[in-house]
Structure 1
Amino acid sequence: MAENQVDIPVVPAERNIAELTVKALILGALLSMVLAAANAYIGLLVGLTVSASIPAAAVSMGLLRLFRRSTILENNMVQTAASAGESLVAGIIFTIPALVIMKAWSGYDYGPMVAIAVVGGILGVAFTIPLRKALIVEAKLKFPEGVATAEVLKTGGIENDRLHDVKDTVASQGFATLLKAALIGGVVKLFESGIGLLASGLATVKSLFSGGYLFMANITLSPALLGVGFIVGLNIAFLVFLGGVIGTIIGVPLNWAFNGDAIMAATGIDTATPVSELTAAQWGQIAGESWQNNRRIGVGAMMIGGLWSLISLAKPLWQGVKSSLDAYKSSDNHQGGIPRTEFDTPIHYVGLVVLLAIVPVFFIFKTALGDYPDAVMIASIMTFLMLVFGFIFASVAGYMAGLVGSSNNPISGVTIATVIVSALILFQIMGNEGPAATLGPIAVIFLAGLICSAAAIAGDNMQDLKCGHVVGATPWRQQIFQVVGVVAAALVIPFVLNVLDQGYGIGRPSPLNPDAQPLAAPQAGLMEALASGIFGGGIEWTFIFIGFALAVALIILDKIQEKRGSDFRFPVLAVAVGVYLPLGLSVPIFIGGLLSYYLQKKAIKLPKEARGRKNATGLLLASGLITGEALMGVLVAVAAVMFQGQVPFMQGFAWAGWLGVATFVAVIIYTYRKVNQS
């Protein structure tokens, strides 16, 4: 009996309440822009993105309560549009920065980026519309974030009159929790990157045993990364940290021991110089060069991890594509008697959107190929590959979102596979002589951007439609709001990336502020290495082969854990990203994972309602820390551009390190106490 209750929506199909409204439309578009900016910063910093549906729902409830009346369906529409911005930016930041890293672009070109984001995102929505009934209604997949978001929305009540509805207090409390955490994250970032009162992190390089052992370690004092670790959980947080240990604590001294002369030569130090005469600055250069070499281990592991993701998804791939095809065949929204809660965008409109998309997709590729003699033929082939791969991977993303959620969806893995396959196909057609050596990799990255955007939106769309299914939304209206969120985010993403590139640098030193620590952009760096390498740019294979071996070992460990039925797994991509990133970024992520695990374990004996309340509080706090720091990071980048890189304003403050550590510890204590008291 209880199982049947799950399918009864909060708002019955026969009841019509406010849903598609002007205020929901405007608020959804604005939040999509804001969350896109926040996720761009975090995603470029650590290569991980987290679902924004729950914080978007909390913000929506908090803001809509300012109006005299609002409904749960309006709240759902706002979070639907808002979360689209978070998802779309992942598709862009994992791919498009490769064009700047490979120097095909000098900056982030507005027109092509908007076109890729809008067309890729809309196709992601269109490809998954027929999947809704097959995966949500019939297959009844979990869609964990969609269900969790629906639970958050329920706390605000069905119809909210701010003068009478007591549940308005619940909505305001969730919004206040998120807002306070965002303020903390933003203020910490301001005093760190903007003013210089707090250190961004601590680092050390030590030469031990007469130079025979080189120790390098660091920690980033970031509340946002603490929040990322809290949300992704201990398993993923530990694996990212493990990757950092492999690349830095283990890899740096081993690389120095075996390749010392080559490392010294690469840093411009005379190899005849005795190690006893090396200065602290020279040891720092050596450690940095040794670590840069080790990052290629992460590249190799990501390559195998991406291919393994595709192999592992063979069964879900077939099921997702089959469900999509079956849904296309059975779709007929013109039959009478379809309940409001089951009315999707009519299938002939979906087909028309896909057909019309062929034109802009073709011209996107034609523009990328410039004056190449066979540009029309190559653009036609790339358009065909986009439609085929886009449909397949959107189906996979939608299916996997139902199994493991959007945050754990292996989007970057399937994009890596796309880059490898499409680059090999184009290499066979174009060769690598003359302009083909330059234009081929560019076309591949354009394809990767379109497909990654479509797949990212597909997973998010399915989560939101699941949430809508639980609360009683009208599917076709939600699908419209997904498109609204896509377009709104696409309009601001190029501005955000340009500002971040000038303020910090993305995958390379900033041309305006070369002293700033660049945002790592691990996936984009890998895309550039693969596309350029396949077209003859050259790949240094030694460390990549080590990454291959590491990936194989992790796959074996993961299969062993799977057979044991263990919840603790070893996904390759999490470790690979950790190897590629500076160790310091993975340390606060690991601390956040530990904090989340400890609080969950402490609450395990509490009643279900109390556990749910603590979990929601923790997620809102973590999301707030991420959003606040990320948005302030964007504002500091704007300041860096305005003041020609002269930020932070206080340079070399003597107590910055101690104050930074004390502030970071205070944020941990605050998070623990707030969750514990909820």
Structure 2
Amino acid sequence: MADTGSRRRGDRAGYVDDVGSVDKGGPFAVEEEEESVEKIFAAQEVPSWKGQLTFRAFAVSLMLSIAFTFIVMKLNLTTGIIPSLNVAAGLLGFFLIKTWTAVFAKLGIFPFTRQENTVIQTCVVAASGIAFSGGFGSYLFGMSERVASQSNTSDAKDFKNPSLSWMIGFLFLVSFVGLLSVVPLRKIMIVDFKLTYPSGTATAYLINSFHTPQGAKLAKKQVRVLGKYFSFSFLWAFFKWFFAASDGCGFENFPSLGLQAFANRFYFDFSATYVGVGMICPYIINVSVLVGGILSWGVMWPLIGKKKGIWYPDGSDDMHRLQGYKVFISIAMILGDGLYNFIKVLSITIVALYKQIRSKDSVLPVASDASPESAAQNFDDQRRTHVFLKDQIPTWFAISGYVAIAAVSTGTLPQIFPQLKWYYVLVVYVMAPPLAFCNAYGCGLTDWSLASTYGKLAIFIVGAWAGQGHGGVLAGLAACGVMMNIVSTASDLTQDFKTGYLTLASPRAMFVSQAIGTAMGCVISPCVFWVFYNAFDNLGSPDSEYPAPYAALYRSIARLGVEGFSSLPSHCLTLCYIFFAAAIVINGIRDLVGKKWARFIPIPMAMAIPFYIGSYFAIDMCVGSLILFVWTKTNKAKAEAFAPAVASGMICGEGIWSLPSSVLALAKISPPICMKFLSSAVNQKVDTFLAG
């Protein structure tokens, strides 16, 4: 959920790298229920925590994890906008297990329960989540020579190229410790404070609905719709491949709005993926991205381009030329937005904690307008609390595990990154637990995770501490990875505890499932990234199919932390101040005017995304929004029921095509046709040249 400093937790299975929640819950949005949920399932026996961890659950989880990792990785390396795939993960997990049980029913296989469904959901989102928190589209790839060479600066030789061995080792060292940091506080946050965790709650309602007779019928219809649009998207991507023989060819470079607009990155590129993303993302996100593209590529860059030779030297584009304005102004908006949301969420967290500590019977601010608990809710809460407290995870296990992993990491990470001294790592591990708690608590109140903001904080602290002459750029990026993984997985696990609480899944089963999913992700994600890295030689290039925009942005943030403002081109600092302040002011106005009017004010973090890579994907997303808008106006009930499935199918189909396309690229099999578009004047010159 585009890395812009904070992200909604609605994108747990999808990570709108800080663009905002895209998971509205669809047809499964959380609503007040008059009828007791647990009375519906009262006749069903709750399996033991070991009974919830079945072989078939992890077999299905592995299949889905591989598929979703390819999808997330493709999105990560194109724009960084990764929508929630919770609906797709839930539907496919339900469908595959139902198929499994139908096939083996005669063998007396035990039935598929909502607890097992929760285990699958947890495992899949944990595994595919590593594709985001592992930094393959941000800090980790930002260490590579491909990204470093774009800057043409003194730090260009300060790089570490990807390798399967060190990437897998690094992820295993940093991805598990976050799971242990909040385990001792799970009862306080879920039972005592009754934090809402909107995304975890929406996922639980989704799973609960699947296991009612009416919900099962709807789920089967949704699976059919998802499959239909998956097939369409996959075949469309296959068809487009034939016309993309080289860079600049194919439907991805179709000047649908004219050649001048195409030169300024305004065109519809026929991407089923981002049409689907647009159907899932809130309207304001899509409009904000488009507004950002118009402001940057339609107004600012053409005007700054006229200052070539005055503000910046002529020559190939790098960080001291026009490219520097694109990157650093975008970063200014990201940091301004991130700072505002950091202070906002932290303030909400501190105030809520203060009120909660003063009066244990007080109600949290987010629930101040809640109605008194009904008898049905009391019954549900009592049963859920009983199950939640039944299988304890020993506090000594969590604390000793954290200390042990931190000790191993402190000694081992400097072997992977010599620039990252052991005392830098130790400081990060000391800082991480309170930050992880703040993030998990704030996430429960606001549904916002500030994992990437904490990561950027680590970049600045460690980068400045190490300094330019001692590999500060690499040290900062590596420290970002340590901090981001700890804080992100901590809030992820707490969300899982909330989902498990509402589906009667054992917290011990949730912890084991998250750990197994994390282990899967630590292997699957580097392998998938390695396929992309070796298949596409231009991976990370701004004009390629996979520009990985946030890799360059994270590296530039690290440079800024190490070198200070001396790395900026002329007048860039002034523009950065303006856009940094504008991001804070716009966010403040959005909060002051209230939800009614805020939906008409663009979100700065979403506006910053196209500053670097252009608006082509924003056109796709707005087309998706338009489709959803028309569908909702004509048949609201059907749109709410099936739009998430349609969008997920479109995203997944083209995302899965990245696997065979990568294999074809590795086999040196190129598309047979180059479809390119020229102006009439250029075409006439080409014809004259060919005619001899």
**Quick check: 1:301–1:544 contact (8 Å CA) kept in 2?**
no
Count of residue correspondences: 585
Could you tell me which runs of 5 or more consecutive residues in structure 2 were left unpaired when the two chains were aligned: 1-30, 106-110, 149-156, 359-383, 679-692
- Render the CA deviation track for 1:642-665: whole Å, top value 9, x for unaligned: 21xx5333223789xxxxxxxxxx
1: CA distance, partners of 2:198 / 2:619: 27
Mapped to 1, the partners of 2:676 and 2:557 lie a distance apart of 42
Deviations 1:86-132 (A, max 9, x none): 32211123321111123655642223322332333322222232343
Q: Does 2:252 correspond to 1:200?
A: yes
1:616-646 Cα distance to aligned partner (Å, 9 max, x none): 4211221222122122123312321221xx5
**Paired residue type of 2:302:** P
- Of 432, 437, 455, which aligns to 1:415? 455
Correspondence 1:382-421 to 2 at 5 A: 382-405=424-447, 409-421=449-461
CA, structure 1 residues 631+290, in 2 after alignment: closer, same or farther (shift >3 Å)?
same
For residues 506 and 83 of structure 1, what CA distance do their matches in structure 2 show?
Answer: 29
**5 Å matches for 1:618-637?**
618-637=643-662
In the alignment, is residue 339 of structure 1 matched against residue 368 of structure 2? Answer: no
2:606 and 2:425 map into 1 onto residues whose CA distance is: 31
**Whole-Å separation in 1 of the counterparts to 2:519 and 2:340:** 33
Amino acid at match of 1:402: G
Q: Does the aligned pair in 2 maintain the 1:134–1:324 contact within 8 Å?
A: no
1:55 aligned partner, one-letter code: A
Corresponding residue to 2:343 among 311, 314, 324: 311
Q: 1:135 to 1:507 in 2, by over 3 A?
A: farther
Q: Report the counterpart of residue 22 of structure 1 in structure 2.
A: 55
Matches within 5 A, 1:270-349: 290=322, 293-316=325-348, 318=350, 339-342=386-389, 343-349=391-397
CA distance in 2 between counterparts of 1:308 and 1:200 reads 36
| TM superposition shift of 1:531 | 1.8
Aligned: 1:579 with 2:611: yes
Are 2:488 and 1:456 equivalent residues in the alignment?
A: yes
CA distance in 1, matches of 2:122, 2:413: 30
In the other structure, the counterpart of 2:640 is: 615
What is the root-mean-square deviation in Å for CA atoms of aligned residues? 3.6
Deviation at 1:540, TM superposition (A): 1.8
Question: CA, structure 1 residues 507+43, in 2 after alignment: closer, same or farther (shift >3 Å)?
Answer: same
Find the counterpart in structure 1 of residue 205 from structure 2: 151
Matched residue, 1:43: 76
Q: Per-residue deviation at 1:299?
A: 2.3
Does residue 221 (structure 1) correspond to residue 270 (structure 2)? The answer is yes
What CA distance in whole angstroms lies between the structure 1 residues aligned with 2:429 and 2:401?
Answer: 12
The alpha-carbon deviation at position 83 of structure 1 amounts to: 0.8
> 2:289 matched to which residue of 1?
240
Q: Encode CA deviations 1:352-407: one digit per residue, 9 max, x unaligned.
A: 2201111332134311443x7xx7xx31x2222322343244324323433444xx
CA–CA separation in structure 2 for the residues paired with 1:319 and 1:118:
36
**Which amino acid in structure 2 is aligned with residue 253 of structure 1?**
P
* Bigger Cα displacement from structure 2, 459-468 vs 199-208: 199-208
Contact 2:460 2:562 in 1 (8 A): no
Q: 1:4 offset after TM fit, Å?
A: 8.9
Q: Displacement of 1:167 after TM fit?
A: 6.2
**What is residue 527 of structure 1 aligned with on the other side?**
554
Relative to structure 1, is the Cα distance of residues 216 and 201 closer, same or farther in structure 2, using a 3 angstrom cutoff?
closer
> What's the secondary structure of 1:241's corresponding residue?
helix
Residues 215 and 175 of structure 1, relative CA distance in 2, 3 Å threshold: closer
Q: How does 1:468-617 map to 2 (within 5 A)?
A: 468-504=500-536, 508-509=540-541, 517-536=544-563, 539-541=567-569, 542-543=571-572, 545-566=574-595, 567-568=598-599, 570-600=602-632, 610=637, 614-617=639-642
Residues 414 and 388 of structure 1, relative CA distance in 2, 3 Å threshold = same
Q: Distance in 1 between matches of 2:326 and 2:414?
A: 37
Gaps of at least 5 residues in structure 1 are: 159-164, 209-213, 268-284, 327-336, 511-515, 656-678
Number of the residue aligned with 1:676: none
Aligned residue for 1:367? 415
> Secondary structure, in 3 states, of the residue corresponding to 2:541?
coil
Contact residue 440 and residue 449 of structure 2 kept, 8 A? no
User: What is the distance in 1 between the residues matched to 2:356 and 2:554?
Assistant: 29
| Cα distance in structure 1, aligned partners of 2:548 and 2:410 | 28
Whether contact under 8 Å (2:226, 2:648) holds in the other structure is: yes
Residues 128 and 395 of structure 1 are in contact (CA less than 8 Å); yes or no, is this contact kept in structure 2?
Answer: yes
Aligned position for 1:172: 220
Distance apart, 1:529 and its partner CA: 1.2
Cα distance, 1:106–1:366 mapped onto 2, change above 3 Å: closer
Amino acid at match of 2:432: G
Aligned counterparts of 2:435 and 2:627: Cα–Cα separation in 1: 34
Aligned to 1:82: 124
User: What letter is aligned with 2:672?
Assistant: F
User: Which SS does the other structure have where 1:55 is aligned?
Assistant: helix
In the superposition, the TM-score normalised over structure 1's length comes to 0.77
1:98 is matched with which residue: 137, 142, 148?
142
Q: Distance in 2 between matches of 1:530 and 1:413?
A: 12
Aligned partners of 2:84 and 2:355: how far apart in 1?
A: 25
1 CA distance for matches of 2:344 and 2:197?
Answer: 19
Residues 108 and 131 (structure 1 numbering): CA distance in 2 closer, same or farther, change over 3 Å?
A: same
Report the equivalent of 1:333. none
Q: Deviations over 1:326-356 (max 9, x none)?
A: 9xxxxxxxxxx98333334221111122011
Q: 2:330·2:608 contact (CA, 8 Å) conserved in 1?
A: yes
1:526 partner letter: L
